[in-house]
Structure 1
Amino acid sequence: MKNSRILIIDDDPDVLTAVRLLLKQQVDKVITEHNPEQIPSILAKETPDLVLLDMNFKSTLNTGNEGLYWLSRIKAIKPDLPVVMITAYGAIDLAVTSLKQGAADFVVKPWQNEQLIGVITGLLSKKDRKRATNPAKSMDSEFIGQSEVVLDLLYKVNKIAPTDANILVLGENGTGKDLIATAIHKQSARSDRPFIKVDVGALTETLFESELFGHKKGAFTDAREDRVGRFEAANGGTLFLDEIGNISLQQQAKLLSVLQNRQVIPLGSNTPIPIDIRLVCATNVPLADLANENRFRKDLIYRINTVDLQVPPLRERGDDILRIARYFLQKYAEKYRKAIVDFDQGAAQKLLRYHYPGNVRELQYSIERAVIMADGEILGAEDLIFSAIEQTSQSQSVQRQLPEEHNLVELERITIANVVEKHGGNISKAAKELGITRTALYRRLSKYDL
C-alpha cells in the first residue's frame, strides 16, 4: 500500500477527514473530493490505484442511485480502476447491484478501520498480481489492449521475446507493428543493447547496400568517409527491418546472403565483418502473397520467419478502440492544454462503429484533430471527423478491384481473393467469413489458381 494513491468521493466532510487520517500513514497519497461532478477532471489529472465512492449524494441527479451513475462514469474513463462503494446499512441491496455493474467491493457505514484497510489491501494486492501476470500490462510499450485477439498476440510476444528466434510481424498499415517490434526487443536478453530500425521499403537500389552493410571511403562518388551499416550498428542487439515485403528480388538476394553467412562486407572492402543480431521484420503484405515466388524468395521467408505474429486491425479489437481513444485523448489534452476529460455516449458509439481503414494511426489523428477543435470538456459525435483520405483511398481501391462487367465467376474469384488477403492467408477465418467450409474454399482456391 505504501506506493498507492487512494481517491475518496463523499459529500460528508467527516467521512473524508476520517479516511484521510486513517490512510495517510498507510499509502502514498489520499485524494479527497466532496463533489462527484469533479470525478472526470480528477481522473484526467491524477492516477489513483483505488477509489472509495459513496452511494448517495445530496445532488438531485439520480437521487438514490448517484453512486451507480458515478461508478459507470469511472469505469467508462478507467475500466481497470477498482472502485469500492460506501453504503449505509439500509442500501445493501443497491451495493450488491453495484458489484454486478463493475464495483470491486463495498463497505457499510459505520465500518471497522481494520475491515476497511483489509478491503483496500486485498484489492491493491490483486491489482498488482494482475499487472504482473497480464501481458497487456507487463509489456513495456504503448501497445494498448484487453481484447481477446490482442491478449493472444501479447501472450505470444511474451513467449517468443526471450528467445533469439527471427520474427516476422504481419499486419495492415497503422496497426502498431513497430510497437510490437519494440516490445520484443525490450523483453529480450538483448534489451540493453542497440535497437536499430530501418524502413527498407524506402531504400533505393543504390542506397540499400550502403545503408545496411556500410561502405568505405571512396567506394563511390559521394563516399567521403567510412560509414558503419545498420547491421554492424545493431551488433549484439536487435535489427528491425520494416516494410520488408516491398524490397526487390535483387535486394532480397543480398539480404539472404548476409543472413546465411552472418557477416557483412561493406562497399569498397573485401574484409567480412561478423555480425550477431536478432532479426525482426515487418510487412503489410499478407504472408500468402509474400510467399509468391515471383515477388519474394521463399528461402528468405524461411530465414526471417521462424515465428510470425499477426497484428489485428483496429476494427477487430472491440472495446480496445475506446481504450486507445482515451489514451490519445489524455495525451493531446495535455499537449494542447485542453480540459477535455471524456467522450459522450454518442461519440463512444461513433468510435465503435467506424471501420478504420487507417487503423490506429487514423484514430490517433482523428482524436488529435477533435481535441484541437473542441471547446467543451466532453467530446461529442459531431467533434469526431474521420480521414477523408483513408475513405477515398479505400473507395478507389475497391473500385479498381471490381470488374467492369458483372461476371459472377469473376466476382466470386475477386471476393475470395480479397477475403483471404484480409485474413492474411488464414483459411479458417476466410472460410468463416465467406460462409463456406474450408474444403470448399480450398477447391475454389485451386479452381481460380489463387
Structure 2
Amino acid sequence: MKHARILIIDDDPDVLTAVKLLLKREVSEVIADKNPENIPAILSRQPIDLVLLDMNFKSAINTGNEGLYWLNRVKSLRPELPVIMITAYGAIDLAVTSLKQGATDFIVKPWQNEHLLQVIGDILNKKPGKKKSETPQVAQSDIIGESEVMKNLMHKITKIAPTDANILILGENGTGKDVIADMIHRESRRVLMPYVKVDVGALTDTLFESELFGHKKGAFTDAREDRVGRFEAADKGTLFLDEIGNISLQQQAKLLSVLQNRQVIPLGSNTPIPVDIRLLCATNVPLVALANESRFRKDLIYRINTVEVQVPPLRERGNDILLLARHFMKKYASKYAKQFPDLDKRAEDKLLNYHYPGNVRELQYSIERAIIMSDGETLNAEDIIFSPIEQAGGQAKIEHDAYNLSEMEKNAIMKVIEKHNGNISKASQELGLTRTALYRRLSKYNI
C-alpha cells in the first residue's frame, strides 16, 4: 500500500480534500481530479494502482448514471485496474449494479475512515496474486469457433497482433468486429497501455475534431475547459475507430493528416501534440465499395490498411452456430437464474438452416429471448424466434423468386437504413434520394 498510486475522481472538492488528507501518509501518491473527462489522459500518462470513482457528476453525459459510464470507460482502458465506487446511501442499488459491471467494491457516503482504509488495503494486498491477468490472454468466451474459416482467421490474428501494423477489420454487421479488435489489442505488445474505442460513424462534423483531437477552453461556445482527444488518450496504446466507412470526405482529410504526421492539434491551439498509437479500424462496407474515390480516399485506405482482416458471416461457419448457441444458452440461463436447457434435434436443424442476416448478434438475441420465455428443460424449434427486423432486412434470400421491382426497392431501402442504424440523412445519400423522397417511400412501403 505504501507504494500505491491512487486516483480519486469526484466533483465535490471537499471529498477530494478529505481523501487526500486521509491517504497521504498511507500511499505513495494520490491524484485527485473533479472532471471524469480527464480519466483517459491520466491513465495513459502514469501507472495507477486503484481508482476511487464517484457515482454521480454534474455532466452532460446522458446515460442514466455517470458513474457506470465512467466505470466502463476505465475498464475498457485498463481491464485489470481495481475500481471502488463512491455512492450515496440512496443509490446502493446502482452501486450493486456497478459490481456486476466490473467494480471491485463500493463505499457509502459518509464513510468511516477506518473502513475505507481497510477496503483499499484489502484490494491492494490481493493485487500481487493477480499478476497473471496482466499477460495477454484470450478468454474462451471471446472467440468461439472451430470452423475452417475461423481457424484461418485466428491464425492470421496470431501473426499480426504482436506487430504495430494498422489493421482494417471487414465484415457484415453483427459478426463481432469489435471482439476481434479487442483480441488484437490484448495479444499485442501494447496490452498494458490504453485501448480506446470510438464509433466515428456516429460523430457529426462539429464533434469529429473535438472528440478525436481534443480542444482548448474557449475554442467554441460550449468549450468550458480543456479536453483531451481520443488520439492523445490512446497514446502508447491502441485506438479503434469503428464504422470508419461512414465518415465524410472532409473528416477523412483531417484523419489522414493526423496519421501522416503522427501528431494532433487540438481545436483552439496551434501547438501540435505527438501521438504514438496502434490503429485498428472496422467497417461493414466491402473493400471494393470502400475503394470508390467518390466515397473514400484511397490514400487513407492505404494508411489504415497495412493488413486487412475479414470476419466471416455466421452463415459460413457451419457447426460454430451450435457452439455459439450453447455458449449463449449457458450465459443467459445463469443471468436469468434458469436451469441450463438442452437443444432438441429440430431446434438444432432450425439454427443450422437459418441464414442469419444479423449474424452472431442476431443469434445471441434469439437465444436470450428463448431462455427468457422457455420454462422447460429443452429448447425446441418453437422456442427459437429470429428477429423480425433482421428477417425483413434479410430478404435477399427470397424463397419465391420475387423479382418484383417494388419488392426489390423496399428491400434495398430497408438494408441501407439498417446499415446506417436508422440515420435517414446517410441512407438517403447512399440511395441517391432526397430525404423527402425517402420519407415518401417509407410511407409507401409502410416501413
Common fold by TM > 0.5: yes
Q: Distance in 2 between matches of 1:317 and 1:323?
A: 10
Task: Report the equivalent of 1:134.
Answer: none
Structure-to-structure mapping, 1:202-213, within 5 angstroms: 202-213=202-213
Q: Distance in 2 between matches of 1:145 and 1:213?
A: 38
Which AA in structure 1 matches 2:285?
V
Q: Distance in 1 between matches of 2:258 and 2:197?
A: 17
Q: Distance in 2 between matches of 1:298 and 1:160?
A: 22
Deviation at 1:340, TM superposition (A): 2.8
Task: Report the equivalent of 1:199.
Answer: 199
Which AA in structure 1 matches 2:230?
R
Which AA in structure 2 matches 1:186?
R
Task: Report the equivalent of 2:320.
Answer: 320
Task: Report the equivalent of 1:223.
Answer: 223
Task: Report the equivalent of 1:304.
Answer: 304
Task: Report the equivalent of 2:284.
Answer: 284
Q: Distance in 2 between matches of 1:364 and 1:306?
A: 32
2:143 is equivalent to residue 143 of structure 1: yes
Which AA in structure 2 matches 1:276?
D
Deviation at 1:395, TM superposition (A): 2.7
CA 1:318/1:256 → structure 2, altered by over 3 Å: closer, same or farther? Answer: same
Task: Report the equivalent of 1:27.
Answer: none
Deviation at 1:397, TM superposition (A): 10
Deviation at 1:320, TM superposition (A): 0.3
Task: Report the equivalent of 1:404.
Answer: 405
Q: Indicate conservation of the 8 Å contact 2:138/2:186, yes or no.
A: no
Which AA in structure 1 matches 2:364?
Q
* Consecutive unaligned residues in structure 1, runs of 5 or more: 1-136, 407-413, 415-450
Q: Distance in 2 between matches of 1:264 and 1:282?
A: 22
Task: Report the equivalent of 1:158.
Answer: 158
Which AA in structure 2 matches 1:353?
N
Q: Distance in 1 between matches of 2:141 and 2:180?
A: 8
Q: Distance in 2 between matches of 1:149 and 1:196?
A: 28
Deviation at 1:155, TM superposition (A): 0.4
Q: Indicate conservation of the 8 Å contact 1:140/1:183, yes or no.
A: no
Task: Report the equivalent of 1:359.
Answer: 359
Structure-to-structure mapping, 1:1-80, within 5 angstroms: none
Q: Distance in 2 between matches of 1:397 and 1:237?
A: 42
Task: Report the equivalent of 2:442.
Answer: none
Q: Distance in 2 between matches of 1:378 and 1:258?
A: 55
Deviation at 1:403, TM superposition (A): 7.4
Q: Indicate conservation of the 8 Å contact 1:170/1:309, yes or no.
A: yes
- RMSD value, Cα: 2.2
Per-residue Cα deviation, 1:38-92 (whole angstroms, up to 9, x for no partner): xxxxxxxxxxxxxxxxxxxxxxxxxxxxxxxxxxxxxxxxxxxxxxxxxxxxxxx
CA 1:364/1:231 → structure 2, altered by over 3 Å: closer, same or farther? Answer: same
Secondary structure of the residue aligned to 2:405 is coil
Q: Distance in 1 between matches of 2:197 and 2:380?
A: 38
2:404 is equivalent to residue 382 of structure 1: no
CA 1:322/1:140 → structure 2, altered by over 3 Å: closer, same or farther? Answer: closer
Q: Distance in 2 between matches of 1:317 and 1:140?
A: 18
Deviation at 1:175, TM superposition (A): 0.1
State which structure, 1 or 2, has the greater radius of gyration over its C-alpha atoms: 1
Q: Distance in 2 between matches of 1:141 and 1:260?
A: 37
Q: TM-score, normalized by length of structure 2? A: 0.58
Deviation at 1:377, TM superposition (A): 1.1
Task: Report the equivalent of 2:237.
Answer: 237
Runs of 4+ residues over 4 Å off in structure 1: 137-141, 396-399
Which AA in structure 2 matches 1:164?
D
CA 1:269/1:348 → structure 2, altered by over 3 Å: closer, same or farther? Answer: same
Deviation at 1:342, TM superposition (A): 1.6
CA 1:140/1:191 → structure 2, altered by over 3 Å: closer, same or farther? Answer: farther
CA 1:250/1:140 → structure 2, altered by over 3 Å: closer, same or farther? Answer: farther
Q: Indicate conservation of the 8 Å contact 1:199/1:242, yes or no.
A: yes
Deviation at 1:219, TM superposition (A): 0.2
| Number of aligned positions between the proteins | 270
Q: Distance in 2 between matches of 1:404 and 1:276?
A: 51
Q: Indicate conservation of the 8 Å contact 2:263/2:274, yes or no.
A: yes
Structure-to-structure mapping, 1:80-159, within 5 angstroms: 142-159=142-159
Task: Report the equivalent of 2:343.
Answer: 343
Task: Report the equivalent of 2:265.
Answer: 265
Which AA in structure 1 matches 2:355?
H
Which AA in structure 2 matches 1:150?
M
Deviation at 1:139, TM superposition (A): 6.3
Q: Distance in 1 between matches of 2:200 and 2:155?
A: 28
Deviation at 1:371, TM superposition (A): 0.2
Q: Distance in 2 between matches of 1:375 and 1:141?
A: 25
